[in-house]
Amino acid sequence: MTKDRYVAIDIGGSFLKGVLIEINQGEGMSHIPQKVLNSTVVKFPSKLGNRFTINDFKTALTNLLDQLTQNDTISAIGISTAGLVDYAGKKIILVAPHLEQLKSESWLNFLRKKYSVPVALINDSDATAIGCAALGYLKGNQTIGIMPIGTGVGFTVWRNGRKWTPFNSLPLLGSCYTPDGNYDQIISASSLAKYDNEMNLVNIFSMKKYEELREQYIEKLSGVIQTANIIYHVNKILIGGGLADAITYSKFPLTKYLMDKLKQKNIEIEVLSEGNMLPLIGATLLGAGEKSIMNYKQTHNYSNKTTEQPFNKNISLNTLTSYELVKLFWELEQEAGDKLYSSLDILTTVINKVTNSLKDGGRLIYVGAGTSGRLATVDTVEIACTFGFPREKVLTLVAGGLADAAYDIETHFEEDASCIPELLLLNLSPKDVVVGISVSGSAFYVQSALGYAKKIGALSILIQETDNYKPDFCDQIIPLYSGSEIIAGSTRMKAGTATKKIINFLSTSVMIKLGNVYGCYMVNLECINEKLINRACSILHELFGIEKEKALSKLKNNNYNLKNTITYLEEHEN
């Protein structure tokens, strides 16, 4: 039987920790978390710091991998590490001074050359978050802070399925300064353990003689959590790392003590029993995910692409008057819309499949880079208020991150990066639908998302300009047929118009088929502003013939829920 063998490594300042798991042919990604939890963790001194060289660190990695692999072949390596990792997961760009060796790319190149497999890199907090998602801790339309605490404190924010990274950076909570030191120092679990003769953190939380020390530590930890709550508006904090392991083994009621200390009570706290295994789960899933899509990346000859050719290379746009420009744009935009007629049969098939998936509990997930991603984002944010559909059921992933999508997020080759880390945070399932949008079909961010979706059995759909070829990484193509642009390569124009139309047709049709429209009225809209309240009253007038004052009164009585108001009126006043 064919097997894939995945190695996960968690790099810490003191130790390297690693696991190896085997996945049999026919076993899916969903088996990985439990296999990691059941595996034996191998530890070696990391040999990082001022006393060591980069070669010492490479030797430590080699020793770890030799013991794990027993010189047998492996399929991929996933690495969880301290420090800031670049968006593509290829290198470390910022670390604490004592981990400076990690910034050298030589050790990563060494691993890639030695093992000839994908080597995927991710920050340890983000790896912990992926582990949390895989185990079902990250669900719903919430904002959750994931806080692994070991030598220092890591922190990442998960917001309704996506990593929340304003300025395209991790929230460096551990670097926050206080007169007693930064947060990394004052809530370090490793530093706390040093008060015990055996340096055993479990003793700190189980022995009576450390009661005062525990009290002081909990006071500091509650302050850090309170800061995270204020800055990032999190609904919940998930505590992992070595601290979580010690709390689990000692059965110390840390959550209760923290809640007693916190001034804000609008937050939940959970200590995760999986502790230090979470980043290893995340790293394993990342390595396996990257391995699953390595053959899907397609290179393109851009010079031959229709979208890169000018609509008419003999036109000198810079010589036209404003009216001539606008008239030309108008004509070509109309043409882009008309050509979509040829895609209606395909779109009909897709609409029916998406509707069935959402009825079965799945999600509609758009993936795009640049204009494509932003157009999809506009659609997803409108679905909830227009149709009352759950926000966690229609989502968009944008290359570079959603937090700064209204700004410039294409400065570091984001569309060429893999989407796997972000899909793992969504804990994608076979019930879901992934719609990738790449007019040229060349964005690897989209290719990787669709390839991974197809691998795990989710429906994968690509919106692109042409139907001249169907890539292996998707189940279905919706062609735009938008042709060449008036400004060569500027697909924000004709192709953008066609894309927005396709997205509108798709999502609106699905919402209608799911029962969110009655006649021609949005009967499940959210009454979240004066305009929408007035619209709801008008709908009640049209459906039941009642005047605005009565309609408004009935809405108020039903907490401004239009669907419930309609149900009430149908039952009591018809």
The three-state secondary structure class of 163 is: strand
| Nearest Cα residue to 422 out of 210, 156, 224 | 156
Q: From CA 396, how far away is CA 359, in angstroms rounded?
A: 19
Residue 197's Cβ-count burial label (10 Å; 0-12, 13-18, 19+) is exposed
Give the Cα-Cα-Cα angle 387, 392, 398 (nearest 5 degrees).
Answer: 100
Can you name the CATH fold of 3-124+280-291? Nucleotidyltransferase; domain 5 (3.30.420)
Per-residue pLDDT, averaged over 446-461, amounts to 95
Identity of the residue numbered 297: K
Long-range contacts of 525-530 (CB under 8 A, 24+ apart): 525/385, 525/386, 525/387, 525/388, 525/562, 526/384, 526/385, 526/388, 527/555, 527/560, 527/561, 527/562, 528/385
HSE of 203, CA atoms in CB hemisphere, 13 A: 11
Write out the catalytic residue numbers: 382, 414
**pLDDT at 411 (0 to 100):** 67
Instruction: Say if residues 439 and 495 touch (Cβ distance below 8 Å).
Output: yes
Per-residue pLDDT, averaged over 352-365, amounts to 97
pTM (2 d.p.): 0.92
Q: From CA 464, how far away is CA 228, in angstroms rounded?
A: 41
Q: From CA 337, how far away is CA 390, in angstroms rounded?
A: 30
**pLDDT at 404 (0 to 100):** 74
- DSSP letter (8 states) at residue 363: -
Per-residue pLDDT, averaged over 92-114, amounts to 91
310-513 sits in which CATH class? alpha beta
3-state helix, strand, coil in the chain (%, to 5): 50, 15, 35
Per-residue pLDDT, averaged over 460-478, amounts to 90
**Structure tokens, 15:** 């130790």
**pLDDT at 390 (0 to 100):** 93
**pLDDT at 1 (0 to 100):** 46
User: Which phi-psi region, left, alpha or beta, contains residue 126 (left: φ > 0; alpha: ψ -120 to 50)?
Assistant: alpha
pLDDT digits (tens, 9 = 90+) for 227-275: 999 999 999 999 999 999 999 999 999 999 999 998 777 899 999 999 9
According to CATH, what is the number of the domain 136-273? 3.30.420.40
Q: Does the pLDDT at position 296 exceed 80? A: no
Q: Does the pLDDT at position 412 exceed 80? A: no
